[in-house]
Amino acid sequence: MTFLTQMAAARCGTITPQVRQVLIDEKIHENDLLTRIAEGRIVIPANRNHTSLLAKGIGAGLTTKINVNLGVSEDCCNVEAELQKVRRSIELKADAIMDLSTFGDTRAFRKRAVEISPAMIGTVPVYDAVARYGKDVAAITVDDFFDVVRMHAEDGVDFMTIHAGLTQTAIQRLRITPRLTHIVSRGGSLLLDWMTANDKENPFYEHFDRLLELCRQYDVTLSLGDGLRPGSLRDATDAAQIQELIFLGELTKRCWQAEVQVMIEGPGHVPLNEVAANMLLEKKLCHGAPFYVLGPIVTDVAPGYDHITSAIGGALAAAHGADFLCYVTPAEHLRLPDQDDMKEGIIAARIAAHAADIAKGIPGAIDWDNAMSAARRDLDWDRMFGLALDPEKAKAYRASSKPVDQEVCTMCGDLCAVKRSRTILQPETDAAS
């Protein structure tokens, strides 16, 4: 039986079950959704082997989605703890989960995550190639790399980060571009090591058609990684980053020719005044493909608070065209995040995404805020908690400081402006209530 990718189906005018799910979740006309999938401006990462998936769309005219990174490492190899993070991420309404495991039985963990997750699952196969084969990076073969890609596809992974734009030309550009932090992408640094040791081209660039065939077979969405993303403000928007982005734009067209869905990964550490320009460059150079950004982090001096630095950058980035935000936790740059860190990162990313949706004019986005404002006007605390992005925290704060007048809070008490002005401006409504 011949299977169609989501892009191929859209080009035929076929409404897949995944498209139907997106139409339920989003305020977009069916024809507009199909057109944008067909053009590559929207992707629905949905591996045909991920049977527990509740499909989501990423791209033009849709709500901004958020991703959570997790996975086991050599220093923190607690599989059950990471699976609990998967469950908690879903409870906290993450749209996607990236398994970045680098140690132990990575396949068993990945398959379990796919089995229990209705959220889309992403991976970085080059990490797993190192973990699985236990070889020196230089000794990994091209077939080794592609065998791992096939394994991830078979296991039901919906999107894969592949740093195919990190070519020898891009590395040469890096060598002549003075950088403060060189390469901060793990996948990018591993491929740099392999390419330098073997004096060969990036295997994923050289054999890109082979990669596309695997993606088409399972309908895996390619997330073309930014191996040369800036890891410090000083390195943002430099020649090496843009050189790689140019290659990613060329590869995007090859994906679309093969009817493979693709999105582009972006920076990184970016000053506020350069965020909008980075979004414009990606959309121009990569032909409107969905853009997936890490943060961006807008200052380098806040370790312990990088969920805030990234939320600031993420809101601005999404308001200017980014479609998918990778969360950042307070533990960024410091250690593997725990569940508390993860929650802080998810909430911060969701705030950024929603703020951007309002700015972008996504249909219905501001309705949630209007409902909250009405509940505040009415001093209806139960309704406020029900509408809160994090009801648990809102209730805990309220319970920790009880007012004498239960209608108000301990910030203003009898001087509550909302209650006082409502009494004057809505006397009939108050009397009726």
> Do you find a cis peptide bond into 40, omega within 30 degrees of 0?
no
pLDDT at 433: 53
The model's pLDDT over 206-226, given as tens digits with 9 standing for 90+, comes to 999 999 999 999 999 999 999
Residue with tokens 């190192």: 130
Q: Which amino acid type is present at position 327?
A: Y
CA distance 345 to 310: 9
- The segments of the chain whose pLDDT lies below 70 read 1-2, 428-433
H or E, element range at 53: none
CA distance 263 to 260: 10
Q: Is 213 exposed, middle or buried (0-12, 13-18, 19+ CB in 10 A)?
A: middle
Does 416 appear as a known binding residue? yes
pLDDT at 215: 98
Does 163 appear as a known binding residue? yes
The model's pLDDT over 135-162, given as tens digits with 9 standing for 90+, comes to 899 999 999 999 999 999 999 999 999 9
pLDDT at 328: 98
Kindly write down the DSSP assignment for every residue of 305-330, as one continuous string.
Answer: -HHHHHHHHHHHHHHTT--EEE---T
pLDDT at 3: 79
pLDDT at 206: 98
Does 165 appear as a known binding residue? no
Does 265 appear as a known binding residue? yes
DSSP state letter for 300: S
Q: Is residue 164 a contact partner of residue 204, using CB atoms and an 8 Å limit?
A: yes
Does 187 appear as a known binding residue? yes
Q: Is residue 279 a contact partner of residue 322, using CB atoms and an 8 Å limit?
A: yes
Does 12 appear as a known binding residue? no
Does 307 appear as a known binding residue? no
Does 215 appear as a known binding residue? no
Joined together, the tokens standing for residue 231 give 């890891």
pLDDT at 74: 76
Does 59 appear as a known binding residue? no
Does 226 appear as a known binding residue? yes
pLDDT at 429: 58
Residues 6+ apart with CB under 8 A from 424: none
Does 107 appear as a known binding residue? no
Joined together, the tokens standing for residue 195 give 């390419």
pLDDT at 78: 82
Predicted TM-score (pTM) of the model is 0.95
Q: DSSP H helical segments within 361-409, as ranges?
A: 365-377, 381-387, 391-400
Domains plus CATH for the chain? 6-360 (3.20.20.540), 367-432 (no CATH)
Pairing of strands 96-99, 262-266: unpaired
Residue with tokens 């990964």: 265
Does 412 appear as a known binding residue? yes
Does 409 appear as a known binding residue? yes
Does 98 appear as a known binding residue? yes
